[in-house]
Chain A
């Protein structure tokens, strides 16, 4: 069973604003019965103030699809149409205290329903180029269609390039075979990766299986080295990461540039955490610097 947050459970078991809405003046239908998710969002907008006075939903979908729909209606009620359009799928996920990576598409669907309903209210035609494939990289929540598109657009040849461009495969590495399958599907063959000029700092040859305990200094150096190795990947997305504080098992980092407020922020932190757990050989928690205030 999925590890849903209390908020998700609450909004699934007690959905807010469900069912048809009389006198709705903006309706958005999104999703696909094939994929098992379909959502109708109905808005009652006051034309004079542009304020969304009421919002209802009807959803065919899993627990998190219903919870995301319910959360969306709660978030946008009382906002103006323009304010509502600023709601991102990450806002919906955050409102629910997070969604499992496999379920992030539920929040994306909510965001799209909102765009469609607003377009309908304004008498515009909304079209969507959204396409989604099977989830490949669970650490960074990257699906097969996104990898395929990126491979085609950039003529990528190797798994390493895919990781550099999309982050897919940059965490636990369990999905490398699936990434190679996408590369073969697009390129017709698999190109061998370039021999690396030097060993990555994470893979020390001949390292003894029983690791000696690190000194504080060595530990922090290792954390820095690991972040350093991840940095080029984030910089490709016009983001960056810096180490702020190490407090026992808690490692606080600042995501900057495009990473800041990015819809994939929690997935990025998850991926960084995975790398650090591997490098240090101990369980650590990677937290955004904002979380320091609470501790």
Chain B
């Protein structure tokens, strides 16, 4: 049976049209865009076109605001390190507890180096408190960095409003939008967002290409210095094939953005409803009223995520978990913990992330498989007995150490 891929927040398949557009740039169009001869000029023209397509998807005012990087992580690091280098007198960074490690690990490192990091907490739906945020905005803050959409739950953050609030206080605002771009309509010129990170492989472009949007007149310091590429803001020979591929992917995303919010959303809702109707002691994580259209984060109580993934994989279904055991650390996902999801549910959380390539038949097959898998694992669980959790599970099973 054809495998079912529902892990599109991890990475997506390259669209065939993207691959087709890229291939000539490995063969006859191999030139360096910086060269004066015709080999280079053709590539230069292709890069300009691609830049225009990224600009269009983001609703950026200028194509010179698009800086190509190698990935979302590079874009995130560039944005934050630029802000603190350009404003050495400002030594505070505001972010959230549920960011991607690309932001959190960097901030933890900067904290060791003496910077003050404020991580906004979230409530059990994954929402931040805007009053707390407002109280932290002052002239010591170098940059605010808030994800547009959370990768594990799909919960959206009010980044446009938060950017306005930062702007009023003269504070730079960055958003890690790798999960949002291509899934939500974005019009940067109508916002006060100064910098935005995107990653190609999350929207059917290849891995190894990212973008940092830098609004005109934003004070900027490059991460990589060297040649004059990207107007000196990101040195290094352009990854021309991937940039061209990203351009095509952005074009396709523009065409399909309505579909993401209708067809894909419907599939996701069908999947969630179908599973919850059949599996007891399961619930959806995150802000169900304000989230990405493609993401379903479902907690299955009293079982552990890796077991679920292994059994799903055996059925040819690819999903992911926020579970500790898939990463080699023992604690469950920092996102689940931040939302106060109990350990018995956090460890059993599975993320299904869909794309426009998924079908209703696939969704129905997943709905048919999941209840059996959960029942099979619950039969092994010391917290489960028959068709329900043991009464008072936390008391009934109290292991020797905790």
Residues of A bordering B, CB below 8 Å: 1-2, 12-13, 15, 18-20, 28-40, 57-63, 65-66, 102, 105, 112, 116, 126-128, 130-132, 134-135
* Stretch in B148-156, B227-235, B299-307, B358-366 with 4+ CB within 8 Å of A: B299-307
Q: Choose from A12, A36, A58 the contact partner of B343 (Cβ within 8 Å).
A: A36
Interface contact B381-A63, CB-CB below 8 Å: no
Q: A29: nearest residue on chain B (CB-CB)?
A: B399
* B-side contacts of A57, CB under 8 Å: 380
Q: Choose from A63, A102, A112, A132 the contact partner of B307 (Cβ within 8 Å).
A: A63
- Tell me whether B387 is interfacial, beta carbon within 8 Å: no
* B-side contacts of A135, CB under 8 Å: 328-329
5 chain-A/chain-B pairs, Cβ below 8 angstroms: A36-B330, A38-B383, A60-B302, A126-B400, A134-B329
Interface contact B402-A62, CB-CB below 8 Å: no
* B-side contacts of A29, CB under 8 Å: 382, 397-400
Interface size grouping (class) on chain B? 35 or more
Q: A35: nearest residue on chain B (CB-CB)?
A: B330
Residues of B bordering A, CB below 8 Å: 302-307, 309-311, 313-314, 323-326, 328-332, 343-344, 347, 379-383, 385, 394, 397-402
* B-side contacts of A130, CB under 8 Å: 401
Q: Choose from A1, A60, A102, A127 the contact partner of B382 (Cβ within 8 Å).
A: A60
Interface contact A61-B307, CB-CB below 8 Å: yes
Known contacts A13-B314, A61-B304; 6 additional CB pairs below 8 A are A29-B398, A34-B402, A37-B330, A60-B303, A116-B400, A126-B400
A126→B401 CA distance, assembly (Å): 11
* A-side contacts of B383, CB under 8 Å: 38, 60
Majority secondary structure, A binding face: mixed
Rounded to whole Å, the gap between the CB of B326 and the closest CB of chain A is: 8
Interface contact A39-B382, CB-CB below 8 Å: yes
* B-side contacts of A105, CB under 8 Å: 330
* A-side contacts of B328, CB under 8 Å: 102, 134-135
* B-side contacts of A60, CB under 8 Å: 302-304, 347, 380-383
Interface contact B313-A1, CB-CB below 8 Å: yes
* A-side contacts of B305, CB under 8 Å: 62
A40→B309 CA distance, assembly (Å): 23
Interface contact A58-B381, CB-CB below 8 Å: yes
Interface contact A40-B313, CB-CB below 8 Å: no
Rounded to whole Å, the gap between the CB of A20 and the closest CB of chain B is: 8
A74→B327 CA distance, assembly (Å): 29
Interface contact B399-A36, CB-CB below 8 Å: no
A279→B224 CA distance, assembly (Å): 33
